[in-house]
Amino acid sequence: MIWHAESELPALDLIVLPGGFAYGDYLRAGAMAAHSPVMREVVARARAGTPVLAICNGFQIAAEAGLLPGALVPNAGLKFVCRDVHLRVESSASVFTGRYQRGQVIRLPIAHHEGNYHADGDRLKALLDNDQVAFRYAMPCGEVCDESNPNGSIGNIAGVFNETKTVLGMMPHPERLADARLGGSDGSAMFEALAAALA
Amino acid sequence: MTEVTPEIVAAHGLSDEEYARVREILGRAPNITELGIFSVMWSEHCSYKSSKTWLKRLPTEAPWVIRGPGENAGVVDIGDGQVAVFKMESHNHPSFIEPYQGAATGVGGILRDVFTMGARPVASLNALRFGGPDHPRTRHLLAGVVGGIGDYGNCVGVPTVGGECTFHPGYNGNILVNAMTVGVAPKDRIFYSAAAGVGNAVVYVGSKTGRDGIHGATMASAEFDADSEAKRPTVQVGDPFTEKLLIEACLELMATDAIVAIQDMGAAGLTCSSVEMAAKGGVGIELDLDAVPLRESAMTPYEIMLSESQERMLMVLRRGGEAAAREVFEKWELDFAVIGAITDTGRMVLRANGAPVADVPIAALVEQAPVYERPWTAPPPPAELDAADVPAPESLGACLKRLLASPDLCCKRWVWEQYDHMVMADTVQRPGGDAAVVRVHGTNKGLALTTDCTPRYCAADPETGGAQAVAEAWRNLTAAGARPLAVTDCLNFGNPEKPRVMGQFVGCVEGLAAACRALDFPVVSGNVSFYNETEGRAIPPTPAIGAVGLIADLDRMATPALAAAGETLVLIGETRGHLGASLYAREIAGREAGAPPTVDLEAERRNGDFVRRLIEAGRLRVCHDVSDGGLLVAVAEMALAGGVGATLTPPVDGPPAHAWLFGEDQARYLIAAPVDAASAIVAEARAAGVPAEAVGRTGGDALTVSGDHPISLGELRAAHEGWLPTYMADG
């Protein structure tokens, strides 16, 4: 754990921007945290190729900091939503998703108020052309449709990569279902993949 | 300074006798600041003046109880050098006036009660009562309360894992918002509130003090009238991020030896915290109000002492500990101010602008607080409602669907999906079952948590209703396989100055006491909320029970979800088909009548201990408490939770089918086990004097009562899950 006011980081194999409510998110989720001193160095490391896994509030911060394309706006239902969702894996070509199969459906929880992913036309097209979508909200059978979209995200996008797939931002929480005791372990493969890739 | 006139005394809620006693204690007339201090300390909310004599009847001790009532929260031993710290508290009056902030600050307050004692909060629950769904304010209040609870708890990062949410026109003018928090601490690092050490610094930490919430405690000690909206300025405003910082800063400082005593500033703010800390320690206290961090300019001593601004704590530090403590709080960007010192005078002396502005003897202020033996009348015994007088439904299926879609029994997913119930990644059983189960971090043991009360039983017969609330909480913990440890109670009633209301309170407390004693389930914390009354109409008596149990090995736990087809359903406990005060009588027959079911505490104990032993032995994994709505509703809930259907076979020589299916007899559990295991369980139960009978089989994708049409689980689920979101969307 690194304090928000730090301006230097030690040598790191992986940076995780975890979930939470940085600065209370009273303004716009992630807007203030993106300007905290430590984020300058996080951005520099990410640009230099250090993998960054940004989950939930971490994704919001990473998007605000310009590490990832697009923005996260309030859920279409205007309420906080905490529930398990199904995700279709869109790309396994990354250090994060290498142990999932493209097209595989996994179950992870979401817990957010501002997880409605948005990107404008050109940016969205670039994202698709460049295979930067990591996960989409789907039905258990894998169908991606309005019914499986919990927050109004464009194209049901639940997670995106940067252009080099070294930064992953995702609203669902892989760390919350990585233990059968808690009702599922579909998140484990992400941490196993990271451990193997970074060892 | 404002002159203290009879009108001002009356506006502070002090009676003539009480004011005379203030004068006698001081040997003179109080100034306005002192009057304010006496008025909040002697308010019903802070002094328990109407309830004190009755609360003494509640059992509070057991070998595993480390600290009972009287501290910020109760403390029980959970083994391995760890304790669970918990309390439930009401925030009813503010939540009715301003539902979002009222509920949010209720959560903030109960969290502080728990981390004040050195415990990291690990779970929150709540018990919510709203007016009838048809009442024009109900949607607004429900949306606001749930939003407030969710936003505060979610931001602080403590999972909200369970609770209750029911509706009745009796709450149209006074909703109930009862919030509970549970924390875990090392047994050798529990912090208390008794001040000590003459010369030690009194330190203020947290947020700055503003004018919000002045006289909140007094507001919570009076009935509402048509002008209750005008009380909006007495509702505080929450800042959950500051609360999160305060949790981390306090726990960081608590790892050192700097703190002598600590208390949060809740109701009656700086007044109550400083007076209680000094009184418990038998010391005096001097405060320099010029040193209090203020958010607004030109605040008077009166306003500073009575403000209920949130996210503030008061500490007494060991001499020499100040610098280290200041460093911790400044790191977390919180205010830290030495505002006074502990003295040996036994008096509270306040100074502002260098001059004394109040001087009150603390022991007299606390010990001579009024205590009332309020007159009370026993409620008339309700007439028994004979099952034969309650008509059978035309269609069992339609009847079950109506019950599952009724406001009290419908799925509350719309509520708990707005709460982050998984943050911290230890929620083993999520909302919607009998008890929520939260793993004790880093161990294989779990805390089972529940809140319970059946107000319609309490209204019909307070004593039985009080006992039933405790029994149901005990049963919900047992059904998960937990050993019930202790309870916290939140006693919500109308105006205690009315003998009828006081009679309800007395009856409920007698019932609680009897059940807690019989079940070895002591009360370790709680609060009383009187004056839940608007324009002369009191709420139904509602003694909400929050309870904590321990699951020693999470591999041996039960859930209500049917797990497999082809298993036998076994009903544990005796079924007489009691329909009095049942949901069937109210929702289907349209009658709110009859006595509640008998609570046989010996049977509760025997049946519950039997079931728990099976779970602890690893022989039983599917178990559900049978309560609201009776057996058929219990089966439906188990089937929906597991996605496995079931067939029930009513006995040939039992009560009428509808009484057997919908009666709410107590001390019952429905369990499912493979055929041979179930036969063995039935035989063992009978040998142990525990009624047990096979009542059906699991399997299929429908629910069937032998001889009737099957109802598909899809249809039941649509009814069960549909009502609340549809209701809220219609607003």
pLDDT in tens, A15-28: 999 999 999 999 89
Q: How large is the average pLDDT for residues B465-488?
A: 98
Q: How large is the average pLDDT for residues B289-305?
A: 95
DSSP at B689: T
If we measure between CA atoms, which residue out of B712, B707, B563 comes closest to residue B649? B707
Name every residue whose Cβ is closer than 8 Å to that of residue B391 and which is 6 or more positions away in sequence: B589
pLDDT at residue B609, as a whole number:
98
Local confidence band at B236 (pLDDT 50, 70, 90 cut-offs): confident
Question: Which residues of A fall below an 8 Å CB-CB distance to B?
Answer: 19-21, 23-26, 79-83, 109, 111, 113, 173, 175-176, 179, 181-183
Q: Which of B423, B424, B443 has the highest number of chain A CBs within 10 A, making it the mutation to test binding with A?
A: B423
Chain A residue with CA closest to B244: the answer is A24
pLDDT at residue A67, as a whole number:
97
pLDDT at residue B388, as a whole number:
81
Comparing CB atoms, the residue among B150, B422, B439 nearest residue A109 is B422
**Other residues' Cβ atoms within 10 Å of the Cβ of residue B52:** 15
Chain A nearest CA to B428, separation (Å): 5
Q: What is the DSSP string of B440-505?
A: PTTSS-EEEEEEE--HHHHHH-HHHHHHHHHHHHHHHHHHTT-EEEEEEEEEE-S-TTSHHHHHHH
Boundaries of domain holding A59? 15-198
Q: Which residues of B touch A19 (CB under 8 A)?
A: 423
Asked if B623 and B611 touch (Cβ cutoff 8 Å), the reply is yes
If we measure between CA atoms, which residue out of B475, B437, B464, B708 comes closest to residue B573? B475
Name every residue whose Cβ is closer than 8 Å to that of residue A164 and which is 6 or more positions away in sequence: A49
Comparing CB atoms, the residue among B239, B416, B425 nearest residue A182 is B425
Statement: residue B515 has pLDDT above 90: yes
Q: How large is the average pLDDT for residues B344-370?
A: 96
Q: What angle do CA B581, B582, B588 make, to 5 degrees?
A: 115
Question: Inter-chain contact B155–A82, Cβ cutoff 8 Å?
Answer: no
Q: How large is the average pLDDT for residues B175-186?
A: 98
Comparing CB atoms, the residue among B151, B417, B554 nearest residue A81 is B417
Catalytic positions of A:
56, 173, 175
Encoded tokens for B477 = 């913990």
What distance in Å separates the CA atoms of residue B249 and residue B436, rounded to the nearest whole number? 28
If we measure between CA atoms, which residue out of B486, B512, B504 comes closest to residue B540? B504
Asked if B315 and B182 touch (Cβ cutoff 8 Å), the reply is no
Name every residue whose Cβ is closer than 8 Å to that of residue B164 and which is 6 or more positions away in sequence: B126, B127, B128, B451, B452, B453, B544
In a domain, A76, yes or no: yes
Encoded tokens for B184 = 């875990």
What distance in Å separates the CA atoms of residue B119 and residue B184, rounded to the nearest whole number? 5
Statement: residue B227 has pLDDT above 80: no
Encoded tokens for A174 = 């892989």
In a domain, A114, yes or no: yes
- Pairing assessment for the beta strands B355-361 and B312-317 based on DSSP bridges: unpaired
Chain B nearest CA to A19, separation (Å): 9
Quickly tell me which residue has 């669907």 as its tokens: B401
Statement: residue B220 has pLDDT above 70: no
Statement: residue A197 has pLDDT above 80: yes
Statement: residue B386 has pLDDT above 90: no
Local confidence band at B232 (pLDDT 50, 70, 90 cut-offs): low
Q: Which residues of B touch A83 (CB under 8 A)?
A: 417
Q: What share of chain B is helix, strand, coil (3-state, %, to 5)?
A: 40, 25, 40
Q: Which of A82, A185, A191 has the highest number of chain B CBs within 10 A, making it the mutation to test binding with B?
A: A82
Number of DSSP helices (H) and strands (E) in chain A, helices first = 4, 9
**Other residues' Cβ atoms within 10 Å of the Cβ of residue B351:** 18
| Domain CATH code at residue A72 | 3.40.50.880
The pLDDT tens digits of the residues spanning B311-334 come to 999 999 999 999 999 999 999 999
Statement: residue B215 has pLDDT above 90: no
- Pairing assessment for the beta strands A157-161 and A116-118 based on DSSP bridges: unpaired
In a domain, A194, yes or no: yes
Chain B nearest CA to A129, separation (Å): 35
Question: Inter-chain contact A21–B416, Cβ cutoff 8 Å?
Answer: no
Chain B nearest CA to A33, separation (Å): 13
Q: Which residues of A touch B154 (CB under 8 A)?
A: 21, 80, 82, 111, 113
Chain A nearest CA to B240, separation (Å): 7
User: What are the backbone angles phi and psi of residue B459, rounded to the nearest 5°?
Assistant: -70, -40
Comparing CB atoms, the residue among B155, B239, B420 nearest residue A82 is B420
- Pairing assessment for the beta strands B702-705 and B646-648 based on DSSP bridges: parallel
Statement: residue B230 has pLDDT above 70: no
- Determine contact: B364 vs chain A, CB below 8 A: no
Residues forming a β-bridge with B484: B549
Statement: residue B634 has pLDDT above 90: yes
Encoded tokens for B661 = 């299916």
Chains A–B, number of C-beta pairs less than 8 Å apart: 60
Q: What is the DSSP string of A85-136?
A: EEEEE----STTTTTSPTT-EEEEEEEESS-EEE--HHHHHHHHHTT-EEEE
pLDDT at residue B219, as a whole number:
60
In a domain, A7, yes or no: no
Question: Inter-chain contact A26–B154, Cβ cutoff 8 Å?
Answer: no
If we measure between CA atoms, which residue out of B174, B167, B175, B131 comes closest to residue B149? B175
pLDDT at residue B231, as a whole number:
63
Q: What is the DSSP string of B632-666?
A: HHHHHHHHHHHT--EEE---TTSS-HHHHHH---S
**Other residues' Cβ atoms within 10 Å of the Cβ of residue B297:** 5
Catalytic positions of B:
45, 91
Encoded tokens for B245 = 């910082």
**CA A46 → CA A167, A172, B21, B728, distances in Å?**
7, 21, 70, 44
pLDDT at residue B234, as a whole number:
65
In a domain, A6, yes or no: no
Residues forming a β-bridge with B82: B186
* 3 state DSSP class of B583: helix
Residue B179 one-letter amino acid: A
pLDDT at residue B266, as a whole number:
85
Q: Which of A36, A84, A181, A186 has the highest number of chain B CBs within 10 A, making it the mutation to test binding with B?
A: A181
Chain B residue with CA closest to A111: the answer is B420
In a domain, A5, yes or no: no
pLDDT at residue B226, as a whole number:
62
Domain tally, chain A: 1
Q: How large is the average pLDDT for residues B494-513?
A: 98
Chain A nearest CA to B452, separation (Å): 24
Residues forming a β-bridge with B312: B206
Mean pLDDT for all residues in chain B: 95
Asked if B599 and B460 touch (Cβ cutoff 8 Å), the reply is no
**Long-range CB contacts for residues B77-82, cutoff 8 Å, separation at least 24:** B77/B187, B78/B184, B78/B440, B78/B445, B78/B447, B78/B485, B78/B550, B79/B445, B79/B550, B79/B552, B80/B443, B80/B445, B81/B186, B81/B187, B81/B188, B82/B184, B82/B185, B82/B186, B82/B187, B82/B440
Q: Note the pTM of the prediction, 2 decimals.
A: 0.96
Q: What is the DSSP string of B253-316?
A: HHTTT-EEEEEE--TTHHHHHHHHHHHHHT-EEEEEGGGS-BSSSS--HHHHHH---SSEEEEE
In a domain, A8, yes or no: no
The pLDDT tens digits of the residues spanning B28-40 come to 999 999 999 999 9
pLDDT at residue B383, as a whole number:
87
In a domain, A192, yes or no: yes
Statement: residue B1 has pLDDT above 70: no
Q: Which of residues 217-246 of B touch A (CB under 8 A)?
A: 239-242, 244
pLDDT at residue B430, as a whole number:
97
Statement: residue A59 has pLDDT above 80: yes
**CA A70 → CA A63, A67, A107, A126, B654, distances in Å?**
7, 10, 24, 11, 65
Q: What is the DSSP string of B201-263?
A: EEEEEESPB-STTTTHHHHTTS-B-TTGGGGGGGS----HHHHHHHHHHHHHHHTTT-EEEEE
- Compute the CA torsion angle B306, B311, B314, B320 (nearest 10 deg): -140
Half-sphere exposure for A198 (CA within 13 Å, toward CB): 18
Statement: residue B522 has pLDDT above 90: yes
Q: How large is the average pLDDT for residues A32-37?
A: 93
What distance in Å separates the CA atoms of residue B128 and residue B167, rounded to the nearest whole number? 9
Q: Which residues of A touch B439 (CB under 8 A)?
A: 181
Question: Inter-chain contact B241–A176, Cβ cutoff 8 Å?
Answer: no
What percentage of chain B reaches a pLDDT higher than 90?
Answer: 92
Chain A nearest CA to B304, separation (Å): 26
Encoded tokens for B269 = 């703010």
What distance in Å separates the CA atoms of residue B482 and residue B612, rounded to the nearest whole number? 7
Encoded tokens for B380 = 């008339």
What distance in Å separates the CA atoms of residue A109 and residue A83, rounded to the nearest whole number? 5
The pLDDT tens digits of the residues spanning B387-415 come to 788 899 989 999 999 999 999 999 999 99
Angle separating helix axes B713-729 and B138-156, nearest 10 degrees: 100
Asked if B414 and B728 touch (Cβ cutoff 8 Å), the reply is yes
Q: Which residues of B519-541 are buried (b: 16+ CB within 10 A; e: fewer)?
A: bbbbbbbbbbbbbbbbeeebbbb
- Pairing assessment for the beta strands B537-538 and B533-534 based on DSSP bridges: antiparallel
The pLDDT tens digits of the residues spanning B668-686 come to 999 999 999 999 999 999 9
pLDDT at residue A70, as a whole number:
97
pLDDT at residue A199, as a whole number:
84
Asked if A108 and A177 touch (Cβ cutoff 8 Å), the reply is yes
Q: Which residues of B touch A173 (CB under 8 A)?
A: 422
Q: So what's the ipTM on this one?
A: 0.97
Question: Inter-chain contact B418–A24, Cβ cutoff 8 Å?
Answer: no
